[in-house]
Amino acid sequence: MNHSSRKLARQRGRVHAITAAIAVAFAALAAVTPVQAAPDFQPGGPIEATYHATGTHPVTKRSGIDCCTSTGESYDIWYPADLGTSGQRHPIIAWGDGTAAHPREYDYLLRHLASWGFVVIAPDLTSTGSGAQMLDALAYLTRQNDDPAGEFYRKLDTETLGAMGHSQGGLGTLNATARSNGLIKTAVTLEMPSPALCSSLPALVPGQNVCDIPAGQISSPVLLITGTAAPISSVGTTGGANQVIYDALPASTPKFRAELIDASHNDIQGQPGCTTFGCNHGVDGYLGYLTAWFMDRLRGDAQAHRVFVSETGELLHNAHWTGQQTNID
């Protein structure tokens, strides 16, 4: 076996080890593959209902033609088909996949955000924990905004950037935000693994401890979301991912954490109902408030902001949610 073959074998070995460890963690989530959930979701508040509805923009997707991250992956991009209408410049959201997942598995969610006027870019990468490729994605679209020959020329708001990720991608979101020097204006995490589970796995990104998040360096607003039926996140405990990160963020950082009742680890991958294991209901329960958060933080939407305000915020009083905590005025 030559050097290249041995290196490839070692890389495959690491991937198999990670996949096996994660498979054990997921085993309790479901014994069978679920069928598509019935479309019976009803928003728990009027503001949630507003942003749960599809936005006004038709959506286009580019897949596999935009390249490349610093490690060679291409990007998938969801964006309004009427890009730049009336001189509008669109905020950008970088997406981070969960371990072993691909952007297409989150198509419904990311397409929904694009319908509200956001341009969403996702590196096609199954190990997103460092956040490096998410920063690459934002830099890529910034360059595209400056390219007179490109579709995005002068149509993007490159000063208004967000990041969001699922599971390991949530780790990547926070790592990218902490290291962005304020470039990322807001961060959203979904179903992050608990610190205990995260540290027990083989290196999610070889040579890097992506579980050691420098939360104290984050000043941009953060939304921490998980489901109550997601044991990987150890919800409802002092050692749960959301509680640990919430407490580690500076007191001056606007932050909100909440748990969607009976949502499991992969409900966020719903299309919109469940098509994979670890999914109880699908993505509907997330759509309204994730959209509202980005509308608030990246577009200054006053109605959306009212969802998250201490004491009176709609999300604090929505019967579909529990474990809410916020310092937002």
Percent above pLDDT 70 for the chain: 85
The more confident residue out of 164 and 71 is: 164
As a whole number, mean pLDDT of residues 113-127 equals: 96
Question: Given pLDDT bands bounded at 50, 70 and 90, which one contains residue 202?
Answer: low
Q: Which pTM was predicted?
A: 0.88
3-state helix, strand, coil in the chain (%, to 5): 35, 20, 45
Which residues have C-beta within 8 Å of that of residue 280, sequence separation ≥ 6? 34, 37, 227, 229, 262, 263, 264, 267, 274
Question: Given pLDDT bands bounded at 50, 70 and 90, which one contains residue 150?
Answer: very high
Is the confidence at residue 149, as pLDDT, over 70?
Answer: yes
8 Å CB contact between 204 and 22: no
As a whole number, mean pLDDT of residues 304-314 equals: 98
Question: Given pLDDT bands bounded at 50, 70 and 90, which one contains residue 241?
Answer: confident
Is the confidence at residue 26, as pLDDT, over 50?
Answer: no
* Average confidence score pLDDT of the chain: 87
CA 263 to chain CA centroid, nearest Å: 16
Interval 310-327: pLDDT, tens: 999 999 999 999 999 999
Domain boundaries defined on the chain: 46-326
Tell me, what's the pLDDT at 211? Answer: 87
Interval 30-49: pLDDT, tens: 333 444 444 689 999 999 99
Tell me, what's the pLDDT at 276? Answer: 82
**Residue environment code for 267-287, b if the CB has 16+ CB neighbours within 10 A, otherwise e:** bbbbbbbbbbbbbbbbbbbbb
CB atoms within 10 A of CB 295: 24
Interval 258-268: pLDDT, tens: 999 999 999 99
Which residues have C-beta within 8 Å of that of residue 7, sequence separation ≥ 6? none
Is the confidence at residue 188, as pLDDT, over 60?
Answer: yes
Is the confidence at residue 8, as pLDDT, over 60?
Answer: no
8 Å CB contact between 109 and 287: yes
Tell me, what's the pLDDT at 199? Answer: 76
Class of domain 46-326: alpha beta
